[in-house]
C-alpha cells in the first residue's frame, strides 16, 4: 500500500459530494473541492474562500465560493465528454497527500484525459492544472476553458454584477451582495499544440474555445493557471489576479509545482507522524495530517480554521471551539506560528465577544459559538429543521454553550506553557483571559441559601441535552478560566507593571477578590461509584442503550436532541462530555476515576459528532484499554478516507471534511499512544503503544527547540534535532 496516496476507481454521481471532500486541495486561503474539471452543480464543485462571508436575503450567512476558474470541458466530433453524462471506459481519481496534488485518469474512449492540479502552497492566490490528452481516434476536438459565476452555493447566490474581460488572461470581477466585497478570478493557458482560438461571453461566463483536427496517437498538453483575489487582500483584485496568473504561465507548470512541493516538504519535516506495523493506520494518519495542514492559515497573521475547513459552506464557515480543542494541539507542538494565528484570531475578535456578552446582559467576553468575521455570532436561533413538519426547530447553541470562552482561555494558557512564549499574553492574550473570567463571574448563579457558585441553563459538549444545570465540563472550564486569570500574577511576576497596566485599563481590581472566592466555590458535580454526573439530574434520566434510542427514530435524519429529540429524556449522549473533561485535565483525576467514567459513559455515547472518538481514545490509552483506543483511533483517522460522519442534521446538509477528527488523530497518536506531555516546560513521553504498532516517530517544537519523539516496544525517548 502506498500510504501517501488515496485512489478510487470508477465514478458514481451519488458519491460526488463525498469525493469532493476526499480529494480536496487547499492552502489556507482557499479550498478546491475534489471534483472533476467538467463538473456541474450536481457534483458540488466549489472554490471556497477563507474569511469571506455573505448573506443572501434571509438565508444563513456562509463563506463565499469564488468563480469557477479551473473548469475544462471537452467534446469530440460534437459529442460532449463528461463523466456525469456517460460512464467512461475507465476512471481513477487520486489525491497525493505528500504534495497536495489531485490527479485523474479518465478514458472517455476517443480521448483519454489525465490531469494533475494543485492549490499552491507557495503562492496562496494560485491554482494550476495540467491536462494530457491522448487521442484514440481521428476527428475534431473542442476544448472549453474559462471562468463562470454559475456556481454551487448552499444558501446563495453571493456574487453579483460580474464583469468579464478577454485577452491573454480571461478575467472576472464580481461583488458580494451583503457587503460589496470584490471577488476576482483570472485564468490563462499554456499549450504545446496549435489550435483555432475563439471567445464566447455570456452574462455568467467568459469562455476560451480551442478547436483542432486531431489524429489517433497524438498527445496534447494544456496547462491552466488561475488566480483568485478579493478586495480584502488589497486594491484592484482583478489586476492582481491577472498578474499572478500571467506570471505563473511565464514560470511554467513545473516551476510552480516545484515551489509548491518544497513548502509541503517543509510542512512534513515539521509535523509528520510516522508509524510502523499497520499500513492502513499510516495512510489514515497521512490523510488526517494532510487535511488539517492544507487548511492552516499560513498566509494570515490572525485567522482560524472553520469547523469543516475549506471543503465547502457547511456550518456557515464558522469558527467553533474545535479550533482551540482539536486543531490547536497539533499546531502548537509542530508549527507554533499557526497556533499563534488561531489565538490571534480570538484576540482580534475580542470586540465581538464583549458585544455578545453585553447583548445578553453580562460583563466580560462571551465568544461566539459560531464565529464569523470580526467575531460576529453566526449561530442562529434555528439550526435544525424538523423532518416531519419541515419547520425550523428552536435550538440554544448560541445562547447556552458558555464553555466556549473558557475553551479559548484554556488554549491561551497552554500556548504559554508549551512554547514558553509570553508575548501572545502581552499582546492581548492576558486581556482575553481576564475578560473571559469576568464573563464567568457575571454569568454565575448564586442562591441566597447556599455558598456555592453554579451555572444553570447551559449546554455542555453533549448537545442532545439542552438547558441543563451544572454541566461538569462547563463548571470545570469556568473554574480553570478563573484560575488562569489569577495565574497571570505568577506568569508576570518579573514584570508586574505589565499585568497591572492591563488590570488598570480593564478596571479589574474589584474582580480580583471575586475570582479567588468564586473559583473556590464552583459547585462540584455529584459522583456515584466514582462516576461523575454529567449535569444535575442526569442519573435520573431513562437509562437505555444507544441502539434502543436509534430504534425510536421515525426518520434516519431526525435530530436526536432538543425538546422533542429521541435522546433528550435519556442518558444517551451525543459526544464526549465528562470524558472530554477528563482528557483535557488529566492532572486532576486518578486513573480509577477515569476508568469508572469511561466504562459508564462510552456505552451511552452515540458518537454523533466527529469530535467524540478522540477524547475517548485519549482516556482509553491512559487506563490501558488499548484495543478500544485503537478502534477509536482508526475511526477518527480514517473519517475523510471512508467518508464517514453525519451529513444531515434534520434537513440541513452538514457534510464536508472533518478537521476536528484530523486533529484528533494526531492527538491520539502523540498524546495518547506516545504519551507526550509537558512537565515544568520539558516534554516527556509515557508510551501506551497498541499491539498493532511497532514504532511511532514524530517531530515537535517546544520552547523554540525541535525534538524527535521516538516510541517503540522498548520504550520512548525524546532527542534534540
Q: Which residue reads 440541513 in cell numbers?
A: 652
Which of 62, 116, 324, 463 is the catalytic position? 463
In this structure, what C-alpha cell is assigned to residue 532? 461523575
From the list 320, 349, 343, 519, the residue with the least C-alpha distance to 416 is 343
What sign results for the dihedral spanned by CA atoms 461, 467, 470, 476? Answer: positive
Question: Cβ contacts of residue 213 below 8 Å, gap of 6+?
Answer: 138, 139, 140, 141
Asked if residues 415 and 430 have their Cβ atoms less than 8 Å apart, the reply is: no
Distance, in Å, from the CA atom of 563 to the CA atom of 554, rounded to the nearest integer, reads 16
- What's phi and psi for 422, nearest 5 deg? -90, -10
Strand 182-191 relative to strand 126-135, pairing: unpaired
Distance, in Å, from the CA atom of 668 to the CA atom of 674, rounded to the nearest integer, reads 8
Burial 607-620 (b: 16+ CB within 10 A, else e): bbbbbbbbbbbbbb
Distance, in Å, from the CA atom of 475 to the CA atom of 256, rounded to the nearest integer, reads 51
Asked if residues 405 and 481 have their Cβ atoms less than 8 Å apart, the reply is: yes
**H-run or E-run covering 202:** strand 196-202
In this structure, what C-alpha cell is assigned to residue 465? 441535552
Distance, in Å, from the CA atom of 338 to the CA atom of 268, rounded to the nearest integer, reads 14
In this structure, what C-alpha cell is assigned to residue 609? 459528532
The SS3 call for residue 616 is helix
**H-run or E-run covering 528:** strand 527-528
Distance, in Å, from the CA atom of 454 to the CA atom of 475, rounded to the nearest integer, reads 8
Assess whether the previous peptide bond of 510 is cis (omega < 30° from 0).
no
Distance, in Å, from the CA atom of 575 to the CA atom of 588, rounded to the nearest integer, reads 21
Distance, in Å, from the CA atom of 339 to the CA atom of 330, rounded to the nearest integer, reads 8
Say how many CA atoms lie within 13 Å of 632 toward its Cβ.
31
Asked if residues 307 and 659 have their Cβ atoms less than 8 Å apart, the reply is: yes
Asked if residues 618 and 611 have their Cβ atoms less than 8 Å apart, the reply is: no
Say which DSSP state 67 is in.
P
From the list 704, 667, 513, 520, the residue with the least C-alpha distance to 586 is 667
In this structure, what C-alpha cell is assigned to residue 323? 479550533
Q: Which residue reads 498538453 in cell numbers?
A: 221
Residue 445, strand partner residues: 454
**Is 463 one of the annotated active-site residues of the chain?**
yes
Residue 5, strand partner residues: 96
From the list 430, 449, 416, 439, the residue with the least C-alpha distance to 702 is 416
Distance, in Å, from the CA atom of 461 to the CA atom of 611, rounded to the nearest integer, reads 9
Asked if residues 88 and 11 have their Cβ atoms less than 8 Å apart, the reply is: yes
Long-range contacts (CB closer than 8 Å, 24 or more residues apart) made by 161-168: 162/67, 162/203, 162/204, 164/201, 164/205, 164/206, 165/206, 165/238, 166/199, 166/201, 166/206, 168/246
Asked if residues 601 and 578 have their Cβ atoms less than 8 Å apart, the reply is: yes
Torsion of CA 492, 700, 682, 712, to 10 degrees: 160
Annotated active-site positions, please? 463
Amino acid at each position: 500500500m502506498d500510504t501517501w496516496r488515496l485512489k478510487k476507481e470508477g465514478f458514481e454521481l451519488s458519491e460526488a459530494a463525498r469525493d469532493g471532500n476526499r480529494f480536496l486541495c487547499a492552502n489556507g486561503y482557499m479550498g478546491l473541492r475534489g471534483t472533476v474539471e467538467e463538473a456541474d452543480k450536481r457534483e458540488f464543485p466549489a472554490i471556497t474562500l477563507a474569511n469571506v462571508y455573505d448573506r443572501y436575503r434571509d438565508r444563513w450567512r456562509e463563506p463565499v465560493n469564488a468563480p469557477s476558474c479551473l473548469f475544462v470541458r471537452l467534446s469530440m466530433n460534437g459529442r460532449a465528454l463528461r463523466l456525469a453524462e456517460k460512464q467512461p471506459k475507465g476512471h481513477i481519481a487520486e489525491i497525493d497527500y505528500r504534495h497536495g496534488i489531485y490527479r485523474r485518469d479518465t478514458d472517455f474512449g476517443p480521448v483519454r484525459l489525465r490531469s494533475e492540479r494543485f492549490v499552491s502552497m507557495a503562492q496562496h492566490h494560485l491554482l494550476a492544472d495540467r491536462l494530457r490528452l491522448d487521442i484514440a481516434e481521428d476527428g475534431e476536438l473542442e476544448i472549453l476553458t474559462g471562468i463562470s459565476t454559475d456556481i454551487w452555493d448552499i444558501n446563495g447566490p453571493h456574487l453579483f454584477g460580474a464583469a468579464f474581460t478577454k485577452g491573454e488572461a480571461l478575467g472576472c470581477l464580481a461583488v458580494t451582495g451583503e457587503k460589496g466585497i470584490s471577488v476576482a478570478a483570472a485564468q490563462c493557458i499554456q499549450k504545446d499544440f496549435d489550435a483555432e482560438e475563439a471567445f464566447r461571453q455570456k452574462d455568467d461566463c467568459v469562455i476560451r474555445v480551442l478547436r483542432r483536427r486531431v489524429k489517433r496517437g497524438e498527445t496534447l498538453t494544456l496547462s491552466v493557471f488561475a488566480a483568485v483575489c478579493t478586495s480584502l487582500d488589497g486594491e484592484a483584485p482583478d489586476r492582481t489576479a491577472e498578474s499572478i496568473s500571467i506570471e505563473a504561465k511565464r514560470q511554467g507548470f513545473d516551476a510552480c509545482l516545484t515551489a509548491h512541493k518544497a513548502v509541503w516538504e517543509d510542512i512534513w519535516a515539521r509535523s509528520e507522524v510516522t508509524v510502523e506495523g499497520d499500513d492502513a493506520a499510516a495512510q489514515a494518519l497521512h490523510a488526517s495530517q494532510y487535511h488539517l495542514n492544507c487548511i492552516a492559515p499560513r498566509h494570515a497573521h490572525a485567522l482560524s480554521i472553520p469547523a469543516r475547513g475549506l471543503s465547502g459552506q457547511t456550518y456557515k464557515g464558522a469558527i467553533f471551539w474545535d479550533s482551540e480543542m482539536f486543531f490547536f494541539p497539533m499546531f502548537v507542538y509542530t508549527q507554533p506560528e499557526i497556533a499563534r494565528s488561531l489565538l490571534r484570531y480570538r484576540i482580534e475578535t475580542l470586540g465581538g465577544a464583549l458585544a455578545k456578552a453585553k447583548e445578553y446582559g453580562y460583563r466580560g467576553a462571551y465568544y461566539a459559538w459560531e464565529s464569523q468575521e470580526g467575531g460576529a455570532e453566526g449561530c442562529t436561533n434555528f439550526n435544525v429543521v424538523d423532518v416531519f413538519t419541515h419547520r425550523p426547530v428552536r435550538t440554544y447553541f448560541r445562547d447556552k454553550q458558555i464553555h466556549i470562552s473558557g475553551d479559548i482561555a484554556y488554549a491561551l494558557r497552554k500556548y504559554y506553557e508549551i512554547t514558553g512564549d509570553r508575548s501572545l499574553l502581552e499582546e492581548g492574550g492576558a486581556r482575553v483571559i481576564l475578560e473571559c473570567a469576568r464573563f464567568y463571574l457575571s454569568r454565575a448563579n448564586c442562591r441566597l441559601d447556599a455558598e456555592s457558585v453554579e451555572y444553570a441553563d447551559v449546554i455542555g459538549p453533549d448537545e442532545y441535552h439542552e438547558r441543563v444545570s451544572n454541566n461538569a465540563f462547563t463548571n470545570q472550564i469556568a473554574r480553570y478560566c478563573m484560575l488562569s486569570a489569577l495565574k497571570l500574577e505568577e506568569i508576570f511576576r518579573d514584570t508586574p507593571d505589565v499585568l497591572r497596566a492591563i488590570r488598570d485599563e480593564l478596571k479589574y481590581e474589584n474582580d480580583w477578590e471575586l475570582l479567588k472566592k468564586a473559583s473556590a466555590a464552583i459547585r462540584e458535580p455529584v459522583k456515584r461509584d466514582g462516576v461523575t454526573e454529567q449535569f444535575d439530574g442526569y442519573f435520573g434520566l431513562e437509562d437505555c442503550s444507544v441502539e434502543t434510542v436509534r430504534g425510536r427514530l421515525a426518520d434516519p435524519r431526525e435530530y436526536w436532541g432538543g425538546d422533542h429529540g429521541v435522546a433528550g429524556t435519556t442518558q444517551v449522549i451525543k459526544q464526549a462530555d465528562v470524558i472530554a473533561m477528563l482528557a483535557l485535565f488529566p492532572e486532576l483525576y486518578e486513573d480509577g476515576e477515569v476508568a469508572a467514567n469511561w466504562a459508564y459513559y462510552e456505552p451511552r455515547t452515540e458518537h454523533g459528532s466527529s469530535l467524540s472518538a478522540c477524547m475517548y481514545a485519549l482516556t482509553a490509552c491512559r487506563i490501558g484499554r488499548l484495543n478500544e483506543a485503537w478502534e477509536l483511533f482508526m475511526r477518527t483517522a480514517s473519517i475523510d478516507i471512508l467518508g464517514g460522519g453525519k451529513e444531515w442534521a434534520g434537513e440541513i446538509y452538514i457534510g464536508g471534511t472533518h478537521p476536528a477528527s484530523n486533529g484528533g488523530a494526531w492527538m491520539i497518536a502523540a498524546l495518547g499512544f506516545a504519551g507526550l506531555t509537558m512537565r515544568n516546560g520539558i516534554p516527556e513521553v509515557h508510551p501506551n503503544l497498541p499491539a498493532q504498532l511497532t514504532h511511532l516517530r514524530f517531530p515537535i517544537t517546544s520552547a523554540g527547540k525541535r525534538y524527535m519523539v521516538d516510541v517503540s516496544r522498548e520504550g520512548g525517548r525524546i532527542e534534540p534535532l
